[in-house]
Amino acid sequence: MTTSKRNPFSGQWRIVWMDVWGQDYVDMEVPGHFTFGKNGIGDFQFGLVQGQMDYRIDGKRVEFSWDGMDECDEVSGRGFAEIVENELRGRIYIHLGDDSAFRAVKQSAQKSKTA
């Protein structure tokens, strides 16, 4: 069995900026976030958009596909991000819809449990 490298994306990242939606929308239901879990599975929510991600790390970048809901409508898409100056910076795409750049900051393990 080989030892896996540490996943720098692992954990919860709090969305602090999106170029298409204001922070009031991003935090409408819960604090907007991306969470990268074990085995290439994660989730996110901003505003009324929530989804489950299937992600892969490619060098310094994480790429993901996702499916979920926007209010009561099924939606899907893709995205990518990389860590720059301790921020997660990337873009999320909604299939046949909007796309937005985003920035997020990593939450401590304690904050992730209480957020």
Residue of 48, 13, 50 whose CA lies nearest to 28: 48
Task: Retrieve residue 7's tokens.
Answer: 């996943």
Q: What is the pLDDT of residues 23-68, one digit of tens each?
A: 999 999 999 999 999 999 999 999 999 999 999 999 999 999 999 9
Q: Is 2 a domain residue? A: no
- Mean pLDDT of all residues in the chain? 93
User: Dihedral, CA atoms, 115, 33, 42, 9, nearest 10 degrees?
Assistant: -100
Residue 112 CB contacts under 8 Å (≥ 6 apart), including other chains: 11, 12, 35
Q: Is 21 a domain residue? A: yes
pLDDT (0 to 100) of residue 6: 84
- The domain that holds 43 is classified in CATH as 2.40.128.20
Q: Is 64 a domain residue? A: yes
Contact between 81 and 92 under an 8 Å Cβ cutoff? The reply is: no
Residue of 53, 61, 56 whose CA lies nearest to 77: 53
Confirm whether pTM is higher than 0.85: yes
